[in-house]
């Protein structure tokens, strides 16, 4: 069974994800992009996550990508894989 993309994140105990916005892009809306804030248990923002799910128009192959950044902009996770 495939693991959830959230399992790839580096989160501290008590951190939660808050969806800020989502959109579909591409000429056939083949790419879904979701932007999240990482909230610490005290409510402060400790980083951001951008999750991308692209379905190729030819062949219908899915490519998933997750990028996690600290509040300073440092990239903590940058992974892509096929589903």
Tell me the pLDDT of the chain (83 aa) as tens digits: 346 999 999 999 999 999 999 999 998 999 999 999 999 999 999 999 999 999 998 888 999 999 999 999 999 999 999 98
Alpha-carbon torsion, ordered 61, 29, 52, 56, to 10 deg:
20
Contact 33, 51 (CB under 8 A): yes
The domain tally of the chain equals: 1
* Domain hosting residue 34, numbered range: 5-82
pTM above 0.85, yes or no: yes
């Amino acid at each position: 069974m495939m693991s959830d993309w959230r399992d790839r994140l580096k989160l501290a105990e008590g951190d939660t994800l808050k969806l800020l916005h989502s959109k579909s892009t591409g000429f056939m809306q083949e790419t879904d992009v979701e932007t999240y804030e990482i909230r610490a248990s005290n409510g402060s923002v400790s980083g951001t996550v951008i999750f991308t799910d692209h379905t190729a128009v030819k062949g219908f192959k899915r490519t998933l990508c997750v990028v996690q950044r600290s509040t300073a902009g440092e990239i903590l996770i940058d992974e892509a894989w096929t589903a």
